[in-house]
Structure 1
Amino acid sequence: MNINKVTLNCVLLLLATVIPTVISAQELDPILKDLIHKGLHKNYTLKRNQIESEQAKVDQQMAKSVFLPKITFNGSYTRLNDDITFDDDTQTLLIETQKLIIKDAIGLPFNSPFPEDIPLQEAANLQDKNILKSSVDLDWVLFSGFEASNALKASKHKESSLNYAGLAEADKLALQIIETYDKLALVKASEKVLTTTENYLNEQAYYVKKAIENGLTTPISRKKIELAQQQLAAKQLDFRHKNTLLIEVLHQLTGEPKARLKLLNPELHVFSFSDASNTEKRNEIKALEEAEKATNYKVKLEKSSFIPKIAIKGHYEFIEDDLSLLDPQWFIGAGIKWSIFDGNTSRLKSKKTQLESQKLRAQITDANEMIALSITKAQLTYEAALENTKIVEKEIELASDTYDLINKQYKNNLASINDVLDALNDLEKANFKLQESFYNERRAVADLRHAKGILTY
């Protein structure tokens, strides 16, 4: 085989493997999108956040239910040691009063003896010793002093805060999966670079073998080639280990079977960031703002404890026979509850919650400043990565030309095998640097879009 043709084929293979496609926007490939969605479905933090959001919805229902009437059915049986009756003097008074009423009714004088043939009625028990009760109670809050309405609004904002916090957590998880996927693509691309280097070394080994057979070089040159091949094998083993580790990380993040992940062959498609002026409020900020609103309504809730509350209460007894002489069969009434002084409990709780609101406001200010800094940092990193890519492409061109030149000189006995291997090593390093530059571009675009609140997946 013609040596120059082998070299040309290797260069073409290198260009085909290391120069990625430029995408006009952050368009993730379908496989990566699928991995992100599986990761979002698997993530336990997001599941816990969803449960907390459902709890906030339940709190809203509880706040609304304050104004629903509460109806309670009661039943009981009680046995006293004896009937509850009037004392002897009261019973005697009741009997004598009964006699006077009867004598007056039949026309007998006041001081005449009472007729023995007229029966008298014993005084009724105040309460029989066997008591069977069955009743229903009604409790209905008409006005809660705005406590219920403030609790409802606080719960709604808490739910919104939890939802935005969940979206922020989803963004972080998506970034983590994208980064791991890109690292896997970097490893795959780097392995292709090593394959190209291996082809170069095989070419040199073939040439050295022929040169030794013709007495044009010494076996030491072959040993140097063998050492370079052994060092290359060590690099290939290192990249295989990195590939295995990244597969494990993706499996942990997404739950996707390892067998399927091993079949992935991602590529470093470079993103161009065209919507630099587009910025939206980050989910982290939205979550903090909603939490602040929820805290402010909690302050109002605690202050409203001093506002009078109005409620209706009703009661009805189904069994009338076992009621005492003093028990009504039914009643209904309206009441007001007005807390004038509770030992400063509500005031202190309100003050503590106000401090919590101030803390959230400080967090919002700090978060906005950190986001502005992260946008600047990501923008600078992206611009630096773009410039670095141009430089490395020139380095590859120079390293490739240098290798070709030294290789020709070596074949004409004008350079040593060490010079050839050094030139090949420089070409390999330049190719690695190009892959890393592509990786850094993708990372910078993803970080910039996340910082601007426009990350899509």
Structure 2
Amino acid sequence: MESNKIKIVSILKIATCMLFLIGTVANAQELTLKKARELMLEKNGEIKASSFEVKSMEEEQKATKGLRLPTVSLSGTYLNLDKDISANLNAERDMVGGLLSISEPAAVLGDWNFSLLDRNIGFASADISMPLYAGGKINAANKASEIKLDLSENNHRLKEDELTVNLITYFNKLKLAKEAEILRKEVYETVLLHSNHADKFFENGMIPEVETLNAKVALSNAKRELLAAKKDVALATTALKNLIGIDDLESISTVFSDPSILKPLNEFQIEMLKENKQLKTIERNYELAKVGVKVENSDYFPKVGVFGKYLLWKDNLPLVDTKWVVGVGVEWELFNGLQREHKIKASKYKVSQIEALDKQARLNLTTYTEKLYNEIEKQLEQFKSLKTDETFAKKLKFMRTRAFEEGTGTSLEVVDATLKLTEIKLHKIKALYLYNVAYGELMVRIGETESFLNEN
């Protein structure tokens, strides 16, 4: 007898362990919002394209740094002219002969028809040049490339935030659809059970036939709503898979976290103006516009550079006897039709334009933060009210069901109580859905994405 007890206890322990392991594996397979975002950042095509834009700007910045370095090149030329280049000075020779009283200048002084350059000529050289001073244009170009790289990185983070907000919406919409499906299934099973009871009561002569008809109509409606809920789940699943960039979607938890009281609105507004990436984009564009003013001002200054040439090979160039040459070049444009003045004014207007955009963007973000915050508070109030209504609706359903079973209530009253409870539950999970979407968007926009993901 004692050994049987030990065996039973052992079997119970093993069964408990197996159930625990099964539960652990099931939970491990559930896709969390945080894991979904990690997958999206890895697989989403838009994010990949944005990352390539950043890499492109990194290379552009490296290329701009090369403006400070010397340029080395090789060049070569080979020419074939229609005839040799010559200088016929026989007329001058005859003039000289006359002055010297020479009777036959040609015989005495010779032929003065000289060949200066053969018709076939060629040369090759190595060239080097390097700017020394460009009025600040090179420094400005490097600063501009640095700002453009920062802008591309910030735009990449903005793209991540935009898709993260979409992910929060799609993920919670799938949770809402799954939760609604569960509720619709519960309603269907409840109404089915009620319909079966109604049929038995009718067969036993306890209720009239009209009560069974009410139950059947309710059952048909419940089935239709359940099928619609299943389709909503399928559609939400497809949308989420496409956003993440995956073919298969693991099961996700349908549990919504209960809303909590937030910190005051003004604190969120301060964080929004401090951490919002759209404002950072405007700030960097403002810096870029100021660099543009410096670039246009640089045209007022001379450009100075050094250069050198080394002759590697020459053919039929008797007049060129040197091997190398070095020098310093200066170019200073004094007047260009007032182009510089107008370009400077145009670049200054861009600075003023961005200042105006920044001012308006801050006002818009303050209002946007208040809108999200009010939506969060509204859904929090809705949730609390619906929780109270749910308690009353559960009690009403219980009482209507008992009354029907005792013959003092109608089938219609039971169905009505069941649907009322379901409607309240649906409104409650919808309030949770809207709360989480608004709260998630607010947290993402103030740069607290990780904090929000860790809460879910």
Same fold (TM over 0.5): yes
What residue number does 1:453 align with?
447
TM-score (norm 2): 0.82
What residue number does 2:53 align with?
52
Report deviation, 1:247.
1.4
Shift in alpha-carbon separation, 1:266–1:398, aligned structure 2, 3 A: closer
What residue number does 1:160 align with?
150
What residue number does 1:130 align with?
120
Shift in alpha-carbon separation, 1:30–1:192, aligned structure 2, 3 A: closer
What residue number does 1:371 align with?
365
What residue number does 1:69 align with?
70
The match for 2:177 among 164, 181, 187 is 187
Shift in alpha-carbon separation, 1:168–1:216, aligned structure 2, 3 A: same
What residue number does 2:387 align with?
393
What residue number does 2:254 align with?
266
2:413 matches 1:419: yes
What residue number does 2:245 align with?
255
Shift in alpha-carbon separation, 1:256–1:49, aligned structure 2, 3 A: closer
Give the Cα–Cα distance (whole angstroms) in 2 for the partners of residues 112 and 66 of structure 1: 68
Give the Cα–Cα distance (whole angstroms) in 1 for the partners of residues 281 and 64 of structure 2: 22
Deviates more, 1:163-172 or 1:49-58: 49-58
What residue number does 2:341 align with?
347
Map 1:303-382 → 2, pairs under 5 A:
303-319=297-313, 322-325=316-319, 328-382=322-376
Map 1:188-267 → 2, pairs under 5 A:
188-258=178-248, 260-261=249-250, 263-267=251-255
Gaps of 5+ in 2: 1-29
Give the Cα–Cα distance (whole angstroms) in 2 for the partners of residues 348 and 43 of structure 1: 45
Shift in alpha-carbon separation, 1:410–1:113, aligned structure 2, 3 A: closer
Q: Aligned letter for 1:269?
A: S
Q: Deviations over 1:397-434 (max 9, x none)?
A: 11111122222222333322222221121111111111
Shift in alpha-carbon separation, 1:318–1:229, aligned structure 2, 3 A: same
Report deviation, 1:379.
1.9
Give the Cα–Cα distance (whole angstroms) in 2 for the partners of residues 380 and 77 of structure 1: 79
SS at match of 1:340: coil
Q: Aligned letter for 1:350?
A: I
Give the Cα–Cα distance (whole angstroms) in 2 for the partners of residues 296 and 331 of structure 1: 40
What residue number does 1:438 align with?
432
Give the Cα–Cα distance (whole angstroms) in 1 for the partners of residues 59 and 223 of structure 2: 61
TM-score (norm 1): 0.82
SS at match of 2:139: helix
Q: Deviations over 1:163-200 (max 9, x none)?
A: 11211121110111111111111111112212222332
SS at match of 2:191: helix
Report deviation, 1:119.
11
Report deviation, 1:153.
0.5
What residue number does 2:5 align with?
none
Q: Is the 8 A contact 2:184 2:229 kept in 1?
A: no
Q: Aligned letter for 1:53?
A: V
Q: Aligned letter for 1:205?
A: S
Report deviation, 1:130.
2.1
Report deviation, 1:41.
3.2
Shift in alpha-carbon separation, 1:113–1:169, aligned structure 2, 3 A: closer
Report deviation, 1:304.
0.7
Report deviation, 1:69.
1.8
For the aligned residues, what is the CA RMSD?
3.0
* Superposition misfits of 4+ residues, deviation over 6 angstroms: 93-97, 110-114, 118-123
SS at match of 1:332: strand
Deviates more, 1:329-338 or 1:32-41: 32-41
Report deviation, 1:111.
8.8
Give the Cα–Cα distance (whole angstroms) in 1 for the partners of residues 91 and 45 of structure 2: 76
What residue number does 1:173 align with?
163
Shift in alpha-carbon separation, 1:415–1:76, aligned structure 2, 3 A: same
SS at match of 1:436: helix
Report deviation, 1:220.
1.9
2:135 matches 1:145: yes
SS at match of 2:72: strand
The structure with more helix, counted as a fraction of residues? 2
SS at match of 1:125: strand
Deviates more, 1:232-241 or 1:411-420: 411-420
Deviates more, 1:393-402 or 1:315-324: 315-324
Q: Is the 8 A contact 1:299 1:354 kept in 2?
A: yes
